Structure formats: structure tokens, C-alpha cells
Amino acid sequence: MFTLAEVASLNDIQPTYRILKPWWDVFMDYLAVVMLMVAIFAGTMQLTKDQVVCLPVLPSPANSKAHTPPGNAEVTTEVPKMETATRQDQNGQTTNDISFGTSAVTPDIPLQATHPHSESTFPNQEAKKEKRDPTGRKTNLDFQQYVFINQMCYHLALPWYSKYFPYLALIHTIILMVSSNFWFKYPKTCSKVEHFVSILGKCFESPWTTKALSETACEDSEENKQRITGAQTLPKHVSTSSDEGSPSASTPMINKTGFKFSAEKPVIEVPSMTILDKKDGEQAKALFEKVRKFRAHVEDSDLIYKLYVVQTLIKTAKFIFILCYTANFVNAISFEHVCKPKVEHLTGYEVFECTHNMAYMLKKLLISYISIICVYGFICLYTLFWLFRIPLKEYSFEKVREESSFSDIPDVKNDFAFLLHMVDQYDQLYSKRFGVFLSEVSENKLREISLNHEWTFEKLRQHVSRNAQDKQELHLFMLSGVPDAVFDLTDLDVLKLELIPEAKIPAKISQMTNLQELHLCHCPAKVEQTAFSFLRDHLRCLHVKFTDVAEIPAWVYLLKNLRELYLIGNLNSENNKMIGLESLRELRHLKILHVKSNLTKVPSNITDVAPHLTKLVIHNDGTKLLVLNSLKKMMNVAELELQNCELERIPHAIFSLSNLQELDLKSNNIRTIEEIISFQHLKRLTCLKLWHNKIVTIPPSITHVKNLESLYFSNNKLESLPVAVFSLQKLRCLDVSYNNISTIPVEIGLLQNLQHLHITGNKVDVLPKQLFKCVKLRTLNLGQNCVASLPEKIGQLSQLTQLELKGNCLDRLPAQLGQCRMLKKSGLAVEDQLFDTLPLEVREALNQDVNGPFANGI
């Protein structure tokens, strides 16, 4: 037999799970324990004391002879006498009848008739009585026959429920216990429940929860005071909206354009929070991450809710089943039973009257069990009513949002919502404190406190450096936010914020009067209204790098004094058919627009800034740019770059840009440039860059573009240079590097204004003497060719400052290099052994720029 402790362990749930046990589950657990005790008590009593006692029913006097067993003459003669004596005793009314049908005397004890009390006063009669033979109705059954009949009738006469009630009650109770706690044990729900209870306990005890709620109370009290004293006294830039990130009604541009502009209200000064210990802060950060992941994992399914509903339905059905069949057997348990075992051939009797000694107690226990089951069932029905009365797969933190400043606490659903509903039945304070870790505002405050504690003014000052433009620059990378001390660096020129998803720019940025350039790399920064006003008036250059166009902050489109805008990221929407760029109409002073994306057409929004845009740069990632009609409207564009756009010809829309001065079509698939004659209408075009294409020949019509000063054809497939190129008298820079050119035409001497010539990476073997008539040459790159000798006329290039000769077939250098007074060793790219072939005085003259700075430095 099971002990009570062993069976009760089936209902033993870890103490940490008690927060998920509402009052009805706890009450049902106690009722199950009581039912368990009743079942065990009844079973123990039945095993130790349950028995049936049976006596045969003797035949009546009329047919006693007919039924007298053979060989029992004495019995037949004495039975009538016993009956007569018995009647005389009954007439005398001094004896007590003994009924065989109701007697509980065991069959191995002889029965004796009771005599009148008057006879017991005589001693001699007492002596005679003691000598008499035992009187009573003899059955002529021995002890073994009685045992046999008792066992036979126990199984035949007793109803089955009287024999198996304790075991059935035990089985039912165990099933109810298992059903009550199955959702704690089922593998697919057990892990979720354990994780939830663990996180909930840590959130409840976290120091950050207390600090966040206490700060909320401080903020609420301060805000109430501000309202009482009068909201009209607030500055115009302060937003009184209760929702963080909502547009400020005091910003006229926002109302006009209809942008969803997240200008946050300045934080009202409140008593500063006590700085968390580093350990507490790290634990709180870890809790935010755990809660976020747990929510994402649990909200996807409602398995816990369904399992709880199913187990409640099972318990209700079990209650109805037990009640229905048990009520029918209450009256079947009785003390007296008639038994007809059909063993007359063994005992001589056909009918027996039996008594069940445990009948009274079993009946009382059964009634008690039914009463407990009824209470248990009513609680199950109440549980079902609670389950279906309200939508338990949805949970709202509306009260928490009203009582705290964390208005962004989201509502949850499915299993997450159900678990919180269960916790509310235990204590609603758990859900309130748990909601702190669902709020992004709370998480941001925690990060802000930890961030400001770590990044002090002194530490930030150490990270300030000077960039190539000799400006003071600060680059912050992968932080949880922007430290407050950043805005105390008032002399900062450039601020770079990279991979800071929760960046917020407060009003303190107005202290940074030198700030003119801002970089936002995957950093959708939010700004307060005062900060926005400062950026709108002072910011000149903005770099925004993003993955999706939605990451571009809305306030970027409202910076009216912005001069340069650099957008790097995917500007196409999901269907790749329309550009997600907002209107640029407010950027009234924008001069330079740099777009690095995967465009299929020039965004029509760019036409908003067409009247004042002077430079447009489009760098595609290899996506073919098909539609360029918008370019025709950019009449004031002076510089145009269309790089890596998979262009196969020069777009005709370019020929309408009358003010175009520089055109760069780098890294396309242009093979022919017959349209180049149309450039003659672009009178201001001075620089043409067609490098990194697949151009085979330069058409003679290039001579009509007479104002060209710079011509770039490097990294193409040119095999020769047409004479027409050398008719461009204004040409100062010619770059034909990395082609297949084998000869330099003698007409090159006509380029009297040529200052930079790049022929690196070709197949030139002879340098014409006319080349050295270009006396204004400053740069001459001849590397990686087949030049065998360098003419002595190189000395005529008196203004030469850079000469590249590496990778040729030279065996010596002419001494006339010394006549190139501007040429120094730093500008001469040549092998060391060739340099050593120069005379000593020439080498010393070339080395003067090397020794000079060192001497001055020392």
C-alpha cells in the first residue's frame, strides 16, 4: 500500500510555481489531498478489518422433516422441542429472542437460550443448568464450512462498489492530481513556465525595478506641479504631449508637410537617480534581453493556454462521471445481505444471511467523498467560467501605463498574456513590476544611466581626433546611446554616430556652436524640438547611411540650411518600383547631393532641389540605371557623377545640362562614345571622365568639345590616340593609363598647356621628342610600359615634380634629370639600381628634399 507522503508527492509542485496557482487551483489541491486521505483511510480499513459473516437460513417447521438430512435422527427429533420450548419462553415473556438473521455472532461460538430471571435465584437450578448441553439452533456446519461460506458470499453477495470503492477513489484522486498540474510537467510547456517564473522572480527583485518606479513617481509629481502652476509658462519648444516621439504642435513645418516627426519633449528636471552598481546594471540589461527573447518565443503560440483549458475540462468531465455513477451506489452499501451461493451439495443449505461489518463506515466515507467531489466540481465549473469569461490570450498593461510614465509598455498576447493573467490571480504587483522590463523607455533610461557613468567628459576628450580637413572629429561606434558629455565638447566640428540605434539628440547640442557636420551611420537618431531648431539653422553637412529608406529620420528633410547631403543605402521600396525618398522641398540651400544606392531611375524628388543643386552624385551598386529624364530639369548642376550604373551609352539627358562643367561616368559598360559630338553644346564642360569602361576608340568628333581641360580614359580598351585629342588646346590633364596604347603621336607637342600626362600600364616603347615640348608638364607617369631609353630632352621639363618610370626596360637614367629643378627624390618613382646610375651631384640635388625636413626637425 502507498504511504500518504508517496502519493501526495504527485501533487507536489515547486514553491516557485505558486505564483501561477490561483486560489481555485490551491483550493482544489487541498481538496485532492483530503480525497486522497479518505481513499487511503478507507483502503487501509478494508484491507485490515473488512469481512462478511454468514449464517444459514434454517427451514420452517412444516417441512423440517422433508428436509432433514439423512442420518441425523437426533436433529429432527430435537428441533421441534427447541421450537416448543422457545414458544413457552416467549409466552412467559421472561426470555430474550435471538434472531439468527440479525445476529453478528460468529458461527464457531455455540448459542445458548436465556432462561427466566426467577429461576436463576435457586442454586440447585444453576447447577443443573451448568450440566445441561448447549442449547440453540444447530446447523451442523463445521468451522471450515463457515469460512468457505463467508468468503463465497463476500464475492457473491456484496455489490462490487462496496469492495472497490477505496481503490476507485484513490485512482480518481490521482487522476485529478495529475490533471491539475500536468501543464507544469508537460515538456513543451514546462520549459516555458520555468523560464517565465525565473525571469518574473528576477524582475520582481531587481533593484532597477524599484528605481524606475520611484523615478516615475518623482516625474509624475513634478509634472503635476508644472500643470498646476500653469502650462502656458512652458517654452514654445516644449511638447506637452504624453506620448514620447509624437510630433510637436509648435513646429509649423511639421504641420505643413504632414511628416511624422518624432521631436521628443525635453526631459523635465527631476531628482537624479542613484547610480546603479555596475553589477546591478548589467543584470538589469540582461533581464531586458531575456524578457525580449522570451516574449518573442512565447507570444507565437497558445499551447499553455490550451493545455490548461483541456486539463480543466478533463477535471470537470471527471467530476460529472464520478458524481453520476457514485450517487447510484450509495444505497447499495448495506449491512445485511442475502446470499445464495448454490453450494447446497456442500453445506446442506441453500440460503444464507450475511452481515458486512464495514458497511456503515464505507457509507459515511462515500457520502463524504461525494460531498468533496461536489465542491471540487463546482470549483472546476467556476474555473471554466473564468477561462471563457474574458479573453485570456490578450493582456493589457493599461493600468500600469496610467500609473507610470512608461506609456510604451506593449500589450501582449497568447501564452505570454495567459501567464500574466495567472500571475494577477496571485498578486498584481508582479505584473506591474514585470511591465518595467517590457518598456523601451525604461530600457533606454537604464542604458542612459550606465552610458553616462562609463563615458565621462575626460574619456570622450581622449577620443577626439583631427581628420584630413584638419577638423576636430569624434567617432562613436556601437554604443547604447549618445553620452550626455558629448554635448559638452563645444569646440567639436564633426560628430560621427555609427550603429547607435537608440541615439537621441537633446537640447544640449545647441552648446556645440562649431558643429557643422554630422554623420548618422545606421543610426536613426531622434531629436528634441530645441535640438532640431539648432540643427536646422547651423548644420551644413549631413551623412546618412542606412539599410532601408525608412531609417532616414524625418527631420532630415527639414534642415533648410543644409548644404551637403550624403545618402548611402537602399532607396527602393520592397517592390523595387518606387523610390521611398521623402520630399526635399524644404532643403532650400542644398548644393551637393550624393546618393549611393541601387536606383533604377533618378528619383523625381531630386527635382525639388533642382534650382539650386550644383553637384549630383549617383553611385549605384551595379543596378542598371534606366530612367534619367529627371536630369533634364537640373539646369544648374555643374558636376554630375553617374558611377557603376551599368550605362552602355552616354545618356542623352545629359546634353540638356547647359551649366555642366564636370561629367564623371566611371565604372559603366560604355563601349562607344559617338554621342560625344553633342557635348559641343555644353560650353562650360571642362572635365570629362570616361574611365573604367570598355571604350575601344575615341571618335574624331571630340575636337568639337574645345573647352575640355581634363580628359580621363584610363582602364578602357584603347589601342591608339586619335590626332583629334591633341587639338584640344586647353587640355591640361590627359589620363590614358591601363589601355593597349603602343605609340604616342608626335602631335602631342601641340598640347602646350598640358600639365599632367598619365600613360601608365600601356605598351609604349618610344617617347617622341615632341613630348618634351610640353614644358608645362608637372606630372609624367610612364610606368609599366616598354620604354628602353629616356631622352636627354627630359631636362626641358623644368616644372616637372612627379616622374614615374618603374616597370620599363631602362638601363640608365640621363644626367639631364638634374635640370628638372622641381623634381625631387620623393617625386621620382624608379628602381634603386637605376637611381644609382645618376651622377653623384644629381643624386644629391634630388635628395635635398629628404635631408632638409629632417635637418629642420632636428
Greatest mean pLDDT range, 105-119, 234-248, 676-690: 676-690
Sort 34 into a burial class: Cβ within 10 Å, 0-12 / 13-18 / 19+: middle
Residue whose grid cell is 509542485:
13
Distance from C-alpha of 765 to C-alpha of 808, rounded to nearest angstrom = 9
How far CA 381 is from CA of 314, 376, 818, in Å, comes to 11, 9, 108
The answer to which of 36-50, 94-108, 192-206, 717-731 has the lowest mean pLDDT is 94-108
**Average of per-residue pLDDT across 169-196:** 85
Distance from C-alpha of 457 to C-alpha of 462, rounded to nearest angstrom = 9
Residue 741 in this model has a pLDDT that exceeds 70: yes
What per-residue confidence (pLDDT) applies to 358? 85
Give pLDDT tens digits for 654-700: 988 989 999 999 999 999 998 888 888 889 999 999 999 999 999 99
**Average of per-residue pLDDT across 595-607:** 83
Residue 242 in this model has a pLDDT that exceeds 50: no
Instruction: Pick the more confident residue, 438 or 666.
Output: 666
Is-contact 237 248, C-beta < 8 A? yes
CATH number, span 4-57+158-185+312-391 = 1.20.1440
What per-residue confidence (pLDDT) applies to 323? 86
Helix 303-327, helix 187-205: angle, nearest 10:
110
**Average of per-residue pLDDT across 340-348:** 83
Record the cell numbers describing residue 588, joined without a space. Answer: 532650400
What per-residue confidence (pLDDT) applies to 575? 46
Residue 101 in this model has a pLDDT that exceeds 80: no
Whole-number percent of the chain with pLDDT over 90: 33
**Average of per-residue pLDDT across 791-803:** 92
What per-residue confidence (pLDDT) applies to 807? 92
The answer to which of 76-90, 163-177, 619-633, 753-767 has the lowest mean pLDDT is 76-90
Residue 265 in this model has a pLDDT that exceeds 70: no
**Average of per-residue pLDDT across 317-334:** 84
Half-sphere exposure of 652 (CA within 13 A, CB side): 1
What per-residue confidence (pLDDT) applies to 127? 45
Give pLDDT tens digits for 521-576: 999 899 999 999 999 999 999 999 988 888 888 899 899 899 999 999 887 755 44
**Average of per-residue pLDDT across 364-379:** 90
Compute the residue count for the chain: 858
The answer to which of 493-502, 531-540, 644-653, 844-853 has the lowest mean pLDDT is 844-853
CA-based Rg of the chain, rounded to a whole angstrom? 53
SS3 485: helix
Kind of pairing between the strands at 526-528 and 756-758: unpaired
Structure confidence at residue 350 as a pLDDT band (50, 70, 90) = confident
The answer to which of 344-348, 495-499, 578-582, 602-606 has the lowest mean pLDDT is 578-582
Instruction: Pick the more confident residue, 312 or 446.
Output: 312
DSSP state of 677: G
Distance from C-alpha of 529 to C-alpha of 355, rounded to nearest angstrom = 95
Structure confidence at residue 849 as a pLDDT band (50, 70, 90) = low
What per-residue confidence (pLDDT) applies to 132? 54
What per-residue confidence (pLDDT) applies to 44? 87
Element (H, E) at 495: strand 494-498
Beta bridge partners of 263: 527
Instruction: Pick the more confident residue, 618 or 8.
Output: 618
In the chain, count of helices (H) and strands (E)?
Answer: 23, 25
**Average of per-residue pLDDT across 194-215:** 78
Residue 224 in this model has a pLDDT that exceeds 50: no
Half-sphere exposure of 529 (CA within 13 A, CB side): 22
The answer to which of 26-40, 181-195, 484-498, 499-513 has the lowest mean pLDDT is 181-195
What per-residue confidence (pLDDT) applies to 573? 56
b vs e for 271-299, b when ≥16 Cβ sit within 10 Å of the residue's Cβ? eebeebeeebbeebbebbebbeebbeebe
Instruction: Pick the more confident residue, 852 or 509.
Output: 509
Residue 721 in this model has a pLDDT that exceeds 70: yes
Structure confidence at residue 237 as a pLDDT band (50, 70, 90) = very low
Instruction: Pick the more confident residue, 535 or 605.
Output: 535
Amino acid sitting at position 112: Q
Sort 53 into a burial class: Cβ within 10 Å, 0-12 / 13-18 / 19+: buried
Residue 261 in this model has a pLDDT that exceeds 60: no
**Average of per-residue pLDDT across 314-321:** 90
Residue 797 in this model has a pLDDT that exceeds 50: yes
Structure confidence at residue 634 as a pLDDT band (50, 70, 90) = confident
The answer to which of 156-160, 326-330, 577-581, 831-835 has the lowest mean pLDDT is 577-581
Amino acid sitting at position 581: L
Residue 812 in this model has a pLDDT that exceeds 60: yes
Distance from C-alpha of 127 to C-alpha of 247, rounded to nearest angstrom = 121
Hey, how many other C-beta atoms are within 10 angstroms of the C-beta on 212? 24
Distance from C-alpha of 340 to C-alpha of 356, rounded to nearest angstrom = 16
What per-residue confidence (pLDDT) applies to 151? 87
Structure confidence at residue 603 as a pLDDT band (50, 70, 90) = confident
Whole-number percent of the chain with pLDDT over 70: 79
**Average of per-residue pLDDT across 130-152:** 73
Instruction: Pick the more confident residue, 581 or 264.
Output: 581
How far CA 240 is from CA of 60, 98, 233, 237, 510, in Å, comes to 107, 100, 12, 10, 21
Averaged confidence pLDDT in the chain: 79
Which one, of 824, 828, 823, 832, lies nearest residue 852 by Cα?
824
Residue 737 in this model has a pLDDT that exceeds 70: yes
Sign, CA dihedral 477-483-487-492, equals negative
